[in-house]
Each structure stands twice: as structure tokens, then as C-alpha cells.
Structure 1
Amino acid sequence: MNIRRMLFIVIPVLFILNNAVAYFIFESGRTVQQSYNVMLDRVLLYKQIAGQTQGNLRALNVYLMDRTENSRKAYISQRDELNLLRESLSAQGTTIPTTDLTVRSYRNMIDTFIGQEAGVIDALNSQGSLAYVAFYEEAEQTAAFIQTEGHHLIDLELSYYQPFYRQILIQTEVMNHWGVAIFILNTLISVLFAYWISLGITRPIKQLALTAQQISDGNLQAPPPQISENNEFGMLSKAFGRMQDNLKELIMKEKESLEKDKLVKELELEVLQNQINPHFLFNSLNVISKLALLEGAEKTSDLTVSMSNLLRYNLRKLDRPVTLRDEVEHAKEYFTIQQARFRDRIQFVTEIDESGLDVYVPMLTLQPILENVFVHGIEGMEEGAEIKLVIACEPDEVRVAISDNGIGMSEAVRDSLLHFESEPLLGQEKGQSTGLGTRNVFRRLELFYGKKSLVDIHSEPGRGTTVLIRIPAAGKEDGDVSPTDRR
């Protein structure tokens, strides 16, 4: 049973049960109230009739004494009021079988009293001055009988209703006890239902939260909670399990994709490792041969050593990180060989902060950039070419800047180098280098440090180029090296 249907059943049942208890208690009280009202109305009517007869006698006595029009009107008003009370008594009837005759006699007394009062008025108008006295005394005696009989009827009413009221009170007390018992039972049932419903809600939520916590901690094999599927939480648990399976499948696909990317990078590294430019080797060996003819063996020996160091460094495994110090030394060896070719046409200027040379960088980071400077920047310059290497240590990073005063590059070429995921521009790769080395360096830096925007290029056509590399200071620790580059 789902939660919505459960609530639609439980809440109306509790509501109906509460209303039933309230209705029974209300009906019991209403029955007692109605019986009490009937008895009280008759008792009050008897008392009003007794009081009204005395009022009639007083009004009649006043009229007999002064015989004015006002006193006569007052008497007539009292007489009409008594007639109304007599009609009310006749309309009510009797609810006590044993008092039917007594009530009829009581009404006759009222009629007799009214007739006797009329006789007093007639005697006052038609006979002698004292002829009405006898009629007045009779009316006075009848009024006393009415009062006495009224008290008797009140006693009969109270005596008759006393056991009835006692029984009603007993029943009311029983109903009150039942009401309290049902209220307590209803409260217990409500508490049990509330506990049952809350347990049915909180227990699945806790199970789902526990499973989610285990998954967030990296335990993707955590079993999904076993919840009955006949409510919303069962559907949620089933969906949670499907989501967990989809997550595992997605991670496996991502892992396979990463392994493919890793394999591609390894192949790229192997290709780069084997990309020793034949034209560069030819020029270098040509220079060495000419120097051997023109000069003594000392410079030839130095150049040969530089060439040997360069080749030895290039043939190292590219997947192992090196310090920036090693890269700087390798760049100097590379420049030594190139300077033997270009001679005084170029100058190599360095401004190096030694405290920043201990950071780890991917191998062959600086040489491809320097090669790009020679091939695309200053190769066509006859004199005054300058290459500058600046390394500055900042609080949270090491900045490496390689600048030249060569021909510069257009904005389109700059964007092509920085956005290395796009295809290189046509015509950009003419010369001794394809330009792929520079783009590959930028990509390897991003993969190595796991950050973007580590490289920036400032260049204008005819005004030279500056390549700025920002190396995170965390690279000073070997433990921060990417696992791909530390195999």
C-alpha cells in the first residue's frame, strides 16, 4: 500500500471515530436537556398560574376599593394573562399518566376561579353594595386551592422525573466513561498509526541515506536498500539501484575512455621521441664538419659534447617528469648548438631565479618552444636576433617566459596555438618544425597539472613574441606529479 492511500484510509477512520464519540455524548446530553426542559416548563407554568391567581385577586380587590377605570383595566389585564396561562396548560397536556385527572381538576379550578371573579363583577354592578363579598370569598378560597394543588402537581412532577433523571445520569456517567475510554483508545491508535507511518517513511529514508553516504565515500558496490515495491519508497529504491548501476557503467566507460586516451598519449610520446628532425641533424653535423676544418679540435669537441648531451636528453623516456633545472640546462645545450649555426646573429639572455628551478615539469617543455622561436621567429633575421629566458618565482607559482624580437605572429596563429584541441592553421607549419611540438607542450602541461589557462602568448606581427608559462608552486613536490607522467 502506498503512502498516499494509507493516509487516505487512516485519517478518515480516525476522524469518523472521533466524530462518533462526540455524537453519542452530544445526543445523551441533548436527551437530558430536553427532558429537563419539559419538566421545568410545567413546573414554571404551575408556579406562574398560582402567582397569577393571587395577582388577579389583588387587582380585583383594588378595583372593588376604588372602582376607577384604571383599576378595572388593570384587573382585565391580569384576567387575560391568567386565561393565556390556562390555554398554555391545556396545550401542553400531561406527560405523567397518573396525574391526568389531577391536571384536569386543576384546569377546572382555574375555570371556576375565573367564573367566580366574573360573578364578583356582576354582583357589584347589579345587586347591593355588599352582595359581591360572598363571591369574592369563594374566589379567594379557590385561589388558595389552586396554589395548593399547583404545589402538589410540582411535587408529582419532581417525584415522577426523579428516577428517570437518575437513570439518565447513570447512563450519562457510563457514556462519559465510554467516551474517556474511546478517547484513550483513539489516542493510542493515533500514536500507533503515527509511529507506523513515520517508521514507514523514516526507515526507507535512512536506508537510502546510508547507501548514498557509502556511494559518496567511494563504495560503488554498496547494495541498494531492500524496500517493498508497493509504495513510493520502493519505486525510489528501485530507481536508486538503477542509478547506481548506471553510475558503475558510466565509470567503466569513463575508465575505458581514459585508458584509450592514455594509450593515445603514450603513442604520441613515442612519436615525439622518435621525431628527431633530420634537417636539424644535417645542419648540426655540417657545422661540426666545417668547424673541424676551420678551427682546432677544442670547439669541435665542445660542440660534439653539446650535441651528445642533447641527443642523450631527447632519447630519455618522455613520460617521466624532470625538474625545471634540467629543462633549463637542456635548453642551454640546444642554444649552444644553434648558436654554432647562427653565430653572432643571435644572443641568448637568461634571467633565472634559482629558487624556482626545483618544480617538476614534463620533459621537453622548453626545447620545442625554443625550436619554434628559431624556425618561425628569427631564422630570417640577418642580425640583432635575441632570445630571452626569464624564470621568476611567485608565492604560488613559477613564471617561465620565453621571448624573442622576431617577426611575431598573427592573432589567428596565436589562437590556433593556444586552442590546441582545434586543427592547426594551413601554412603555419612550414619550415623545419611542424608546430605540433609547441601545441603538444601546451596540452601536456594542462594534463600534467590538471589545470587550464597555464600558457599565454603575447605577440604582434613585426614586434616579436613572448610565451608565458605559469607553473603551480605545488609542482615543487614530486608527489604532486600526475600519475600519467610518473609511470
Structure 2
Amino acid sequence: MSIRKKLLLFIPLLVLLANTVAFLLFESAHVVQDSYRLLLDRVLGIRNSAEAAEAQLTAMYRYLADPAPAAGEALRQAEAGASEAAGELAVSAAEPFGNEAAFIAYGRLLSTLTEQTSAALTDEGAGGAVSLSRYEAAEETAGFIREAAAELVDLELAAYEPLYKEALRQSARMNRLGLAVFAVHTALGVALALWISRSVTRPVARLVDWAGRVTTSGAADAPPPVSQTRDEMGTLTDAFGRMLGALERSARIEKEAAEKDRLVKELELAALQSQINPHFLFNTLNVLSKLALMEGADRTSDLIVSMSSMLRYNLRSLDQPVRIRDELAHVREYIVIQQARFRDRVRFEVEADEAVLDLAIPALTLQPLLENAFMHGIEGMERDAVISLHIRTADDGAEIVVADNGRGMSPDVRAALLQAGGGYRVSDEHAGEERAASANTGSTGLGTRNVFRRLRLFYGEEDLVGIDSGPAQGTRITLRIPARGKE
């Protein structure tokens, strides 16, 4: 889930939860307030009606004492106020709260008092005895009203006492619930904030740590962090991993190209160091070949031609691929020269499959391997030395085998050569031994390790070289040639 979806989902849910709880608390408080309002309306209605009855009795007394128009108007207003208070009390008493019978009796007392005051207004010309008797009756009714009002208030308070206690309990429960909701809401808010912030800060911290390790130790020693989420930070982590992989591959390709250029320059330098004005020497060999042919030294002429052909082949650009066919022709010229040198001490066996002779191969690949067989394998043998070269068709290209029955090599030397073929740096000690051997035996100086490294760089693969050898057991070098080289 993306960070935006988390924010849009969980924050509204948290707000909705808080609003729901607040609404429930508000409704509970509203119920308690309605109970309080009902009680106060009924009690206030009783008090107002009792005060209106007292005012009505006072107005009746003044009117009976002095039946003037103003006193009559005051009595009528007092009656209207009493009737209004009785109506409000009847409205509040209509709700089912208990004490309905007492309210009915109280309302009849209020009506009786109103009838008595109204009768006083109609008996405007009556004598004093009648007026006095009416006032005494009204005063007695007013006394009943006061006693009934007091009793009714007591009944209301008694009836409301259980509801009041329940309201107090509800209020205390709401207070506890409010505190609990506040604590839970705070905890949920903190947890949500931590969760969302950690989903952002933890991947960022991993990326920062990873970048630091890449800076200090390199990309190879700092594998990219594993993406643990599917949000934007997970996508960013995966993008960083792919970017580092691309940078690492680019650096490896550039390193291989630099290594290839270095090896080519070493080959060119070695070739230049072993030649003194090679074109002059090539032309001189051609003159000597013709001179030997004119003097009847055909064999000498053939050797000079072979040497001239080898020199011409070595003058070509070393960073360009050649066909196996060209390498085989170069090797045959080399064999002619070596047979003239070793005569019957060595026998050469060459077999080649025509179907694979047009495959690409780095220049000067086969001749250094045969030269290594001469210089380090069979040079000390006086007879029965055999050097073989077999070029066969393989599943994915060709297979070239150079073998001899010479003195072989030690496991350390074999391991060092295989490391060179696998792309590892060999020790300076072994490299120095090979250079010294090349100098002492008069080889071309194009070391076997150089051949193996150029094969690896040319084809872009590691497992191309196999060596089977042991002390006094001969040596067998197998090259796997893919169908095409690395672009």
C-alpha cells in the first residue's frame, strides 16, 4: 500500500472514530440535560402558579376593599397571569413523570381560586358581608394552594431522586469513558504517526547506510537493501538497486576494456622490443630467400620464407580478430622452423575440422601455446617428443587441444595459469618466472597467461580454458571457442 493511500485511509478513520465517540458522549449528556430540564420546568411551573395565586388573592383583596375600575383591571390581569401559569404547568405536567393525580388536584385548586375571583368581579354591587365571605373563601383556597404546591414540590423531588442518582452515575461513567477514549485516541494517533513515519524513515535510513557503505567499500561489498514494502519507498529502493547494478556492470565493462587495451599494448611493446626495424628485416629475409634459391639451397630458402611469413603475420594489428584458419597457417610456418631445429627429436600431429576454421579468434593465440610446449615441455627430451594440435567441432563452437608428452607442470603453476584464464590477478612471482623463462629460452615473449586473458576479454566469458597436467605426465591445454566473440 502506498504512503498516500495510508494517509488517506487511516487518518480519516481515526477522525471518524473520534467524532463518533464525541457524538455518543454528546447524546448521553443531552439525555441528562433533558431530565434536568423536565424537573426544573415542573418545579418552576408549581412555584410560578403558586405566586400567581398569591398575586390573584392580593388583587381580589384590593378590589373588594375599593371596587374602583383600576382595581378591577388589576384583578383581571392577575387572573390572566394565573391562568397562563396554570396552562404552562399543565403542559409540563402532561409528560409521564409521575404524580399525575396530585397535579390534577392542584390544577382544580387553581381553577377554584380563579372562579372565586371572577365571582367577586360579577358581584360588584354586593354588600360588605358578601365580599368578606368571598375573600375568606378565596383566602382559604389560596392556603390550600400553598400547601399543595409545597407537597407537590416534595413529591417531584422524591420522584426525581432515583433519576438524579442515575444521572450522576451516567455522568461519572461518561467521564471515565471520556478519559478512556482520550487515552485510546491519543495512543492510536501516536501509533499511526509512528507507523507512517517509520514506513518513510526506515527505508530512507537503509538507503543512507547503503550509500555510505558503497562510498567506503565499493558496490561489490555493499549489496543493495531488500525492499520490504510495496509503497513509494520500496519502489525507490528497487530503483537504487537497479541503478547500482547498472553502474557496477558499466564499471566492469570499462575495466575489461582497459585490461584488454593494456594487454594489447603489452603485446605491441613486446613485439616492438623483439624487432629491430621489422620492415627492413622482412625485406632482407625476402632477399636472402631468393639468394638461397638461386644458389640451390632449397631447404634454406623454405625456412627463410617461413620466417618471413611469421614476421609478416606478427606485424598485423593485435587488437583485431582473425580466423582459426589464419592462426593454423601461422602455426604451420612455426612448425616448419621448429622441425628444422629439432629434426627427428619431435613429431608434430595436426588435425583440423574444416567446419570451424572460419570462427573468429584473437590474433596470436595458437602459436604461443605451441611455443610453450616447446620451451617448457619437450625441450629437454632427446627423442620421442610429440606435440599435437587438434581443432574439433563442439556444441557451441569449436574445441582446440594443444598437448605434449613433456615434463608437465606443478599444481601451483597450473593453478596460476587457470587463475589468469579465469580473470584473477596472478602473483608477481609466477609472472616473473614466466618472463625469465621466456628470456632464457628465446621465445617470442607472448606469455600463456596473456593468451588466456585475451580469450576471456574477447569472448566475455570465464570458463574457456582447461589444463590437464602433472609432473612428468605431459600437458594438455583445451580451449573452448564460442561461435562468436563479445561485441
TM-score (norm 1): 0.51
Q: Using the alignment, how far apart are the partners of 2:269 and 2:94 within structure 1?
A: 120
**Identical pairs, percent:** 35
Distance 2:44 2:131 in 1: 32
**Are the equivalent residues in 2 in contact too, given 1:96–1:160 (CA < 8 A)?**
no
1:159 is displaced (CA, Å) by 0.5
Provide, for residues 421-467 of structure 1, a one-character-per-residue CA deviation record: whole Å limited to 9, x for no partner.
Answer: xxxxxxxxxxxxxxxxxxxxxxxxxxxxxxxxxxxxxxxxxxxxxxx
Name the CA distance, whole Å, in 1 between partners of 2:58 and 2:108: 21
Tell me how far apart the structure 1 counterparts of residues 133 and 230 of structure 2 sit (CA, whole Å). 98
- Could you tell me how far 1:253 is from its partner in structure 2? 4.4
Aligned partners of 2:64 and 2:131 also within 8 Å: no
Counterparts of 1:263 and 1:128 in 2: how far apart (Å)? 149
Task: Give unmatched runs, 5+ long, in structure 2.
Answer: 278-487
- Cα distance change, pair 139–262 in 1 and its aligned pair in 2 (3 A): same
- Is 2:181 the partner of 1:165? no
- TM-score, scaled relative to structure 2: 0.51
CA positional deviation for 1:9: 3.1
1:238 match: 238
The residue number in structure 2 matching 1:36 is: 36
* Distance across 2 between alignment mates of 1:6 and 1:255: 45
Matched position secondary structure for 1:228: coil
Distance 1:178 1:111 in 2: 49
User: Deviations along 1:201-246, whole A, 9 cap, x unmatched?
Assistant: 2111110011112233361221111122422222111101111012
Question: Which has the larger displacement, 33-42 or 70-79?
Answer: 70-79
Distance 1:163 1:185 in 2: 32
Aligned residues: 274
Q: Summarize deviations over 1:147-188 as a string: whole Å, max 9, x none.
A: 111111111111111111101211221232222223223322
| Amino acid of the structure 2 residue aligned with 1:162 | E
Q: Distance in 2 between matches of 1:201 and 1:168?
A: 48
The question of whether the paired residues in 1 share the 8 Å contact of 2:50 and 2:146 is answered with yes
- Contact 2:42–2:93 (CA<8 Å) still a contact in 1? no
Answer whether contact 1:59 1:75 (CA < 8 A) is retained. Answer: yes
Indicate the residue corresponding to 1:11 in structure 2: 11
**1:16 maps to amino acid:** L
Q: For residue 91 of structure 2, what is the aligned residue in structure 1?
A: 91
Q: What secondary structure sits across from 1:217 in the alignment?
A: helix
Aligned to 1:150: 149
* Residue 123 of structure 2 is aligned to residue 119 of structure 1: no
Provide the rounded CA distance (Å) in 1 between the counterparts of 2:68 and 2:134.
20
Paired residue secondary structure (1:131) = helix
Partner of 1:174: 173
Q: CA contact under 8 A between 1:121 and 1:132: conserved in structure 2?
A: no
- Correspondence 1:436-447 to 2 at 5 A: none
SS at structure 2 position matched to 1:220:
coil
Q: Which amino acid letter does the alignment assign opposite residue 241 of structure 2? A: G
Specify the alignment match of 2:418 in structure 1. Answer: none
Amino acid at match of 2:146: Q
The answer to whether the 8 A contact 1:50-1:147 is kept is yes
Cα distance in 1 between the residues matched to 2:148 and 2:94: 15
Distance (Å, rounded) in 1 between the aligned partners of 2:117 and 2:71 = 15
Q: Which residue of 1 aligns with 2:200?
A: 201
1:76 is matched with 76
Alpha-carbon separation, structure 2, partners of 1:155 and 1:265? 119
Answer whether contact 1:29 1:172 (CA < 8 A) is retained: yes
Distance in 1 (alpha carbons) for counterparts of 2:52 and 2:235? 83
Higher deviation after alignment, 163-172 or 28-37 = 163-172
Q: Is the 8 A contact 2:64 2:120 kept in 1?
A: no
- Offset at 1:261? 8.0
Structure 1 unaligned spans of 5+: 277-487
Give me the whole-angstrom Cα distance separating, in 1, the residues matched to 2:98 and 2:39: 15
- Structure 1 residues 255 and 164: alpha-carbon distance in aligned structure 2, compared to 1, 3 A threshold: same
**Equivalent AA in structure 2 for residue 53 of structure 1:** A
The letter for the 2-side match of 1:168 is A
Q: 1:126 to 1:251 in 2, by over 3 A?
A: same
Give 1:20 shift. Answer: 2.5
